[in-house]
A and B are shown apart, each in its own frame.
Chain A
Amino acid sequence: MIEPPLRVEPLGPHHDRASFSCGKPSLDDYLRRFAGQDERLDLTRCFVLVHRDEPARILGYYTLSAAALVPQKAPGKLGKVRRYREIGALLLGRFAIDRRAQGRGLGRRLLLHVLLHAARLGEEAGFALVLVDPLDEEAAAFYRKFGFAPLPGERRMYLLLKDLRATLAALEKA
C-alpha cells in the first residue's frame, strides 16, 4: 500500500509537527500538542507517513488505540442477559493527510495500510472490529467508500475484522 520512497513509521521527536496542516484545526492541533503526550502515557500509538527525501515532514498521520464497546444502559430497564458484555475494538481515533499532499490518492493508500496493520494486529490482540469516529460528512463519505458502516443511531462507523480478513483472502484468490 505504502511503498518506497514513502514509508510509515511511529511518530518521533524528529518529525516536524508544527508545519502539519490538513485543513481540520482539531486534527492539526492534536498532532502538535497531544500526540506525544498520549504516546508517552501509552494511551494511543501515533504513526506518520513520510517521504524518504524529506523524512521530517509529516505527509499524514493516524492514531490507534484499544477500545471496548459497551451498551448504554436504558434507564429503568433491567440488565439483559447478553452474549457479550463488551466488544473489543481497535479505534482509529485520528486520520489526516497534509493539505499539500492531498489529491494524490495518499488517503486511500494510508487507510488501506491502516487496515492491513489492523488485520496483523488482530492476530495477536482481541478485537472484533475497527472503529472510526468521522468528524464530518466528508470524512464519513470517505470511510463509506471502504465499506465502513455506521453504527445505528451513531456517528461512529465500523468494519468487522473478520470481513476485513475475508476481503484480503478474496483479493489473494483473484
Chain B
Amino acid sequence: MPKTARLDLRLDPEHKALIERAARVSGASVSEFVVARALEASRRILAEHRRVERVAVAEAAFERLAAELARPARPVPELLDQLRKVRR
C-alpha cells in the first residue's frame, strides 16, 4: 500500500523523547515504531470490542432490568430447590 496518508499530532516533549528512545532501542524509525504500536493497539481494542455481543432489548425490558439492579439481592427459590436436589 502506498503511504500517502499523514498523521500530525502534538505531544509533550518528554513523551516524544521517550518514544524516540524506545524506537531506537527496537531498531526502528520513530514513524515505523509509532505506526506499528498504534496498529497493534487498534487491532487489539477492536477485537475486544467485537467480542462483546450487543443485544438490543425492548425499552420496557431494559427499564425493568435497570430497576431490578437497584433492588437488594434475594435468593431464588426455584434455584435453591434445584441445588438441594443435587446435594442430597
Contact = CB atoms under 8 A, between A and B. Distances in A.
Query: Is chain B a partner of chain A in the same complex?
Result: yes
Contact of A69 (B55, B68, B85): B55
7 contacts: A43-B51, A66-B51, A84-B66, A87-B69, A128-B69, A145-B78, A151-B64
A103 B41 CA distance: 49
Interface in A44-77: 65-72, 74
B57 A70 contact: yes
Interface in B40-76: 47, 50-66, 68-70, 73-76
A40 interface: no
Contact of B86 (A65, A74, A112, A151): A112
B76 A167 contact: yes
A109 B83 CA distance: 9
A160 B80 CA distance: 14
Contact of A68 (B55, B80, B83): B55
Contacts of A174: 84
Contact of B65 (A129, A168, A169, A170): A129
A163 to B, nearest CB: 5
Tell me if B's interface is mostly helix, strand, loop or mixed. helix
Interface of B: 47, 50-66, 68-70, 73-80, 82-87
The 9 closest A-B pairs by CB, nearest first: A147-B76, A162-B73, A71-B62, A147-B78, A166-B73, A170-B75, A151-B61, A147-B79, A167-B75
A65 B82 contact: no
Contact of B61 (A115, A128, A152, A169): A152
Interface of A: 1, 42-43, 65-72, 74, 82-84, 86-87, 89, 91, 105, 108-109, 111-112, 115, 128-129, 131, 144-147, 151-154, 156, 158-160, 162-171, 174
